[in-house]
Amino acid sequence: MKILFIGDVVGEPGRRAVKVLAPKLRAQWGIDLIIANGENSAGGSGITVSTANEIFTSGVDIITSGDHLWDQKEVMQLLAGEPRFVRPINYPPETSGHGVAYFEAKNLPKVAVVNVQGRTFMPDLDNPFRVMQSQIPKIREQARIIFVDMHAEATSEKIALGRMLDGQVSAVVGTHTHVQTADEQIFPGGTAYLSDAGFTGPQESVLGREITPVIERVLTNQPRRFTVASARIFLKGVLIEVENETGRATNIKRVSEALPVLEKKDAQSS
């Protein structure tokens, strides 16, 4: 089974990259499942019903989230009624929504997609290690293939979680920092790992935002509006191959695909 994970989709440019490139990559590489982190898809902060639908109609099967989960009030509709949308699993049990979604398709094994959030420099949720330690055995009863989006600031948290879950899940991929790392590997137990998938959107930016306001903010310590940038748009992520029978990863490859300039111009003129 081939799984494409798309790193944090930022604003309209990120959604456009997914719309153009995700179907192309699915056909080109024979991808069976596409997952995307969509927590920054609405204007660069949060997610709405319309941005989620746009991502789904672009070919994405499941959307994960993170610490910007609550930035848009419409997220409550997604949490309440969209089974393909996943929030971090380590929120308290009474929180709306769910931390795992299951993908099922004809002639393919069932796949569990789990979202979990770190705690270093992040909101203080339940301990992600203890939550995953208790939940993964239950999830394994439902699916042999388990993909984990570890949304965290600290690389050490991501690596530690990946090592703890080695042999229990198919992949642990980090999100949140928006900087694609070069440490892709398969751990001894068969778990594919990457510290951060990067972000999908304008790379001529500061993590997807216009450069000048960010520099002004750090120079003056005064508020600035951080608008989404627009230049040099890429789809960033990772492609993972997994054995259907065992759930063990057999290959991992970073993805960095440019949105063709022609596509960008056409989109702006339409």
- Do 259 and 230 touch, CB atoms closer than 8 A? no
In 118-248, where do the E strands start and end?
Answer: 145-151, 171-175, 185-186, 192-194, 201-202, 233-242
Q: Which residues are catalytic?
A: 68
Contacts for 201 with CB less than 8 Å, ≥ 6 apart: 8, 9, 10, 11, 13, 14, 17, 40, 208, 228, 229, 233, 234
Q: What is the C-alpha to C-alpha distance for residues 150 and 221, in angstroms, rounded to an integer?
A: 31
- Do 111 and 103 touch, CB atoms closer than 8 A? yes
Which residues, in sequence order, are bridge partners of residue 148? 114, 172
Which residues, in sequence order, are bridge partners of residue 200? 9
The number of helices, as runs of H, and strands, as runs of E, in the chain is 7, 12
